[in-house]
Amino acid sequence: MDLESQQSLPHSPFTHPIQCIVKLGGAAITCKNELEMINHHILREVSQQLRHAMISPSHKPPGMDWSKRHGESEICCNPDEFRDDSIFHCTPFIVVHGAGSFGHFQASKSGVHKGQLDKPIVKGGFVATRISVTTLNLEIVRALAREGIPSIGMSPFSCGWFTKEKHISSGDLSSVAKAIDSGFTPVLHGDAVFDEIQGCSILSGDVIISHLAAYSKPKYVVFLTDVYGVYDRPPTEPDAILLKEIAVGEDGSWSVVNPKLQNSIELTVAAHDTTGGMETKISEAAMIAKLGIDVYIVKAATSHSLRALSGDLRSSIPDDWLGTVVRSSR
Amino acid sequence: MDLESQQSLPHSPFTHPIQCIVKLGGAAITCKNELEMINHHILREVSQQLRHAMISPSHKPPGMDWSKRHGESEICCNPDEFRDDSIFHCTPFIVVHGAGSFGHFQASKSGVHKGQLDKPIVKGGFVATRISVTTLNLEIVRALAREGIPSIGMSPFSCGWFTKEKHISSGDLSSVAKAIDSGFTPVLHGDAVFDEIQGCSILSGDVIISHLAAYSKPKYVVFLTDVYGVYDRPPTEPDAILLKEIAVGEDGSWSVVNPKLQNSIELTVAAHDTTGGMETKISEAAMIAKLGIDVYIVKAATSHSLRALSGDLRSSIPDDWLGTVVRSSR
């Protein structure tokens, strides 16, 4: 299903307006070159910024991860902290995260993204990939819950989503909408799913965001990454220029409007990234922008990401904001 | 939805015959009185017995949990081990587990089972309960995958199931059936879910099993518990008698046919069990037996559970088998 046809679909299950869909990029929240290692510092900062953006910044609500802490025998819950209703108003956000160093190795080694589920190695890789990505999902749900965000993990596989040539061909959003209606924050993730043609596939977090955006029409979308935004060349190169504004035409094509560039730009895709790298991200961002939804691509856990998450950039982009905004040229 | 109406429902999504639905009782696989503690020894034994029952006993397939092991930097996967197709034939089983010392404390403390999701403490408890039960689900999926069982975690909440007065009012099984069709072993669990009337509820593993059994019509159902079966009184009492056979009438009423008892029997419900104890279990077992499906209630990780899981009891129950069979009197 492409976004063109989704735009005209009347059957959105969302009854509450969604403020923001936020992507926690795998590269930002995990240690990219170390297998299955969460970047706890960044994840904690990101969770705090989300709490500030979603819940009254002056009050920290009590934590909702009551799991046993190391060395204790009781759950961490004091019912008295839950008496004040006022601190529980939570702006509707949907969180989607990538895999980073979770899942990618398992998927690459077995070729889950290429299908052929009847091969034993692919079947094993499918199981191993799902174990890895759901492990990460659980840790992210817990980090958000510790900040008082009522986070609920929802795996695309369990939601019954499947793909057809990497696009979502069945992605019922009624469970996600019901969670929003009940005041929860759904936390979805890139996942191994069934594919109508090739048997199985990897559904990337970026494709999930496009799907969610088309149906839920959020006010804005934020991609949190490990660099300041989109650059004209690999950001590790000394002369790399941050692209501050990308305009998207009605046909989905995009061009850099700020800064003015002399040469056409070059984009890189990390070798172990089975879901495509920056090029996929810009394409997906362009598809969202085409719907009239501004997309901010920004470095996680910085003052710039906090401004993006809080919706401060919607009227105008301050000169001192570092990041990339992708929006419709209309 | 009661089982009577399910019996006449033609819309089962299952196309493959299901051999067995197995319940891993929370009391068997966790340390019941210690918060969030898995009984790793029992879980490993149970996983090995399931592998024997599901996959050719003479060949141990390679593990499918490739997560990073302590002190290692690489994933545990040798693609060469996946060359031999013959060891990957896996008899269709569905696994459902209870919560034991995961989830129950969180649910009890907040009253999630009593609804009122608009109360902050209940919303917090809903989040905390889901974190706890999905933590256990992930560990069980991993334990099964390490034995080479292609296990896939599926949360009832994520599958979009919800309840009405503790019964499943919406429980689409197409995702479970699709996982079975693709050769996977779905692993479901007792979960916090939305309830049509009271807002939220706890959906117990036993109720899930009844629902699955009505639609998938397995050859038999096995409940793995921490005692040898159902007794006429609390099994800790010295004179407790193991009920070896319970017959279920067409109206769902049940009676003990072996051994012959003089007095009516007494059943206990553990105080912290928010989903009901042995009485719920027998009622649910009776509902399944009424469909013509034999139910074995047996102590986990014993020679008796291996015989039950392997289907050895289907023709006749040997005298030396310890456990309770619940079956239709027809």
For residue A302, the model assigns a pLDDT of 98
Taking contacts as CB-CB distances below 8 angstroms, the residues of chain A near B172 are: 160
Q: Would the CB atoms of B178 and A157 count as touching at under 8 Å?
A: no
Taking contacts as CB-CB distances below 8 angstroms, the residues of chain B near A87 are: 120
Coil/strand/helix, residue A119: coil
Sequence-separated (6 or more) residues with CB below 8 Å from residue A229: A242, A243, A244, A297, A298, A299, A322, A323, A324
Q: Which residue of B has its CA nearest to A145?
A: B127
CB contact residues (below 8 A), chain B span 179-198, against chain A: 182-184, 194
Q: Which residue of A has its CA nearest to B104?
A: A75
How many other CB atoms are found less than 10 A from the CB of residue B309?
26
pLDDT, tens only, B125-159: 999 999 999 999 999 999 999 999 999 999 999 99
Cα radius of gyration rounded to whole Å, chain A: 19
Is the minimum CB–CB distance between A199 and chain B shorter than 8 Å? yes
- Residue pair A298/A323 in contact by the 8 Å Cβ criterion: yes
Cis, peptide link before residue B62, omega less than 30° from 0: no
Selected for mutation to probe chain A from B64, B163, B173 (highest A CB count within 10 Å) is B64
Size of interface A-B (CB pairs under 8 A): 198
CB contact residues (below 8 A), chain B span 143-182, against chain A: 145, 150-155, 157-160, 172, 174-175, 178, 182
Selected for mutation to probe chain A from B84, B129, B131 (highest A CB count within 10 Å) is B131
List domains and CATH numbers for chain A.
Answer: 13-58+87-328 (3.40.1160.10)
Mean pLDDT throughout B95-107? 93
Give me the helices (H) in A182-245, please. Answer: 205-216
Nearest-CB residue to B65 (from A82, A131, A157): A131
Selected for mutation to probe chain A from B88, B127, B191, B201 (highest A CB count within 10 Å) is B127
Q: Concatenate the DSSP letters of all residues of A42-107 into one string.
A: HHHHHHHHHHHHHS-TT-PPPP---PPPTT--S----GGGG--GGGG----EEEEE--TTTTHHHH
Which of B98 and B87 is assigned the larger pLDDT? B98
CA distance A137 to chain B (A): 10
CB contact residues (below 8 A), chain A span 60-79, against chain B: 62, 64-68, 73-75, 77, 79
**Which has the closest alpha carbon to B139: B213, B77, B227, B46?**
B46
Which of B324 and B33 is assigned the larger pLDDT? B324
Encoded tokens for B181 = 């069709």
Torsion angle of alpha carbons B209, B214, B218, B220, nearest 10°?
Answer: 60
Encoded tokens for B57 = 């006993």
For residue A124, the model assigns a pLDDT of 95
For residue A273, the model assigns a pLDDT of 41
Q: Would the CB atoms of A132 and B66 count as touching at under 8 Å?
A: yes
Question: What confidence tier does B77 reach under pLDDT thresholds 50, 70, 90?
Answer: confident
Q: Would the CB atoms of B124 and A77 count as touching at under 8 Å?
A: yes
Q: Would the CB atoms of A67 and B135 count as touching at under 8 Å?
A: yes
Question: What confidence tier does B275 reach under pLDDT thresholds 50, 70, 90?
Answer: very low
- Residue pair A128/A58 in contact by the 8 Å Cβ criterion: no
For residue B263, the model assigns a pLDDT of 62
Is the minimum CB–CB distance between A132 and chain B shorter than 8 Å? yes
CA pair distance B222, B93, nearest whole angstrom: 11
Sheet holding A199-203, edge to edge: A167-170, A162-164, A191-195, A199-203
Selected for mutation to probe chain A from B36, B66, B180, B189 (highest A CB count within 10 Å) is B66
Question: What confidence tier does B290 reach under pLDDT thresholds 50, 70, 90?
Answer: very high
Taking contacts as CB-CB distances below 8 angstroms, the residues of chain A near B35 are: 68, 73-75
Selected for mutation to probe chain B from A127, A200, A272 (highest B CB count within 10 Å) is A127
Question: What confidence tier does B272 reach under pLDDT thresholds 50, 70, 90?
Answer: very low
CA pair distance B309, B298, nearest whole angstrom: 10
Nearest-CB residue to A106 (from B66, B121, B126): B66
- Residue pair A208/A137 in contact by the 8 Å Cβ criterion: no
Taking contacts as CB-CB distances below 8 angstroms, the residues of chain B near A193 are: none
A296 CB-side CA count, 13 A: 28
* Ramachandran assignment for A199, one of left (phi > 0), alpha (psi -120 to 50 degrees), beta (any other): left
3-state secondary structure labels for all residues of chain B:
CCHHHHHCCCCCCCCCCCCEEEEECHHHHECCCCCCCECHHHHHHHHHHHHHHHCCCCCCCCCCCCCCCCCCCCCCCCHHHHCCHHHHCCCCEEEEECCCCCCHHHHHHHCHHHCCCCCHHHHHHHHHHHHHHHHHHHHHHHHHHHCCCCEEECCCCCCCCEEECCEEEECCCHHHHHHHHCCCEEEEECEEEEECCCEEEEECHHHHHHHHHHHHCCCEEEEEECCCCEECCCCCCCCCCEECEEEECCCCCEEEEECCCCCCCCCCCCCCCCCCCHHHHHHHHHHHHCCCCEEEEEECCCHHHHHHHCCCCCCCCCCCCCCEEEEECC
Taking contacts as CB-CB distances below 8 angstroms, the residues of chain A near B142 are: 131
CA distance A59 to chain B (A): 15
pLDDT, tens only, A157-214: 999 999 998 789 999 999 999 999 999 999 999 999 999 999 999 999 989 999 999 9
**B229-238, B273-282, B294-303: least confident range:** B273-282
Encoded tokens for A243 = 């692209």
For residue A57, the model assigns a pLDDT of 67
A56 CB-side CA count, 13 A: 11
For residue B237, the model assigns a pLDDT of 84
For residue A263, the model assigns a pLDDT of 62
Is ipTM over 0.90?
A: yes
Q: Would the CB atoms of A138 and B138 count as touching at under 8 Å?
A: yes
Selected for mutation to probe chain B from A78, A131, A181 (highest B CB count within 10 Å) is A131
- Residue pair B288/B328 in contact by the 8 Å Cβ criterion: no
Which of B109 and B283 is assigned the larger pLDDT? B109
Nearest-CB residue to B120 (from A88, A106, A153): A88
pLDDT, tens only, B105-115: 899 999 999 99
For residue B56, the model assigns a pLDDT of 75
- Residue pair A194/B182 in contact by the 8 Å Cβ criterion: yes
**Chain-wide mean pLDDT for chain B?**
88
Q: Would the CB atoms of B175 and A160 count as touching at under 8 Å?
A: yes
pLDDT, tens only, B188-235: 999 999 999 999 999 999 899 999 999 999 999 999 999 999 888 788
Cis, peptide link before residue A234, omega less than 30° from 0: no
Taking contacts as CB-CB distances below 8 angstroms, the residues of chain B near A120 are: 61, 82-85, 87-88
Q: Would the CB atoms of A130 and B124 count as touching at under 8 Å?
A: no
For residue B255, the model assigns a pLDDT of 87
CB contact residues (below 8 A), chain B span 245-264, against chain A: none
Nearest-CB residue to B131 (from A67, A105, A134): A67
Give me the helices (H) in A70-204, please. Answer: 104-110, 120-146, 174-181
Q: Which residues of chain A are modeled with pLDDT < 50?
A: 1-7, 268-276
Return the H-helix or E-strand segment holding A22: strand A20-24
- Residue pair B115/B123 in contact by the 8 Å Cβ criterion: no
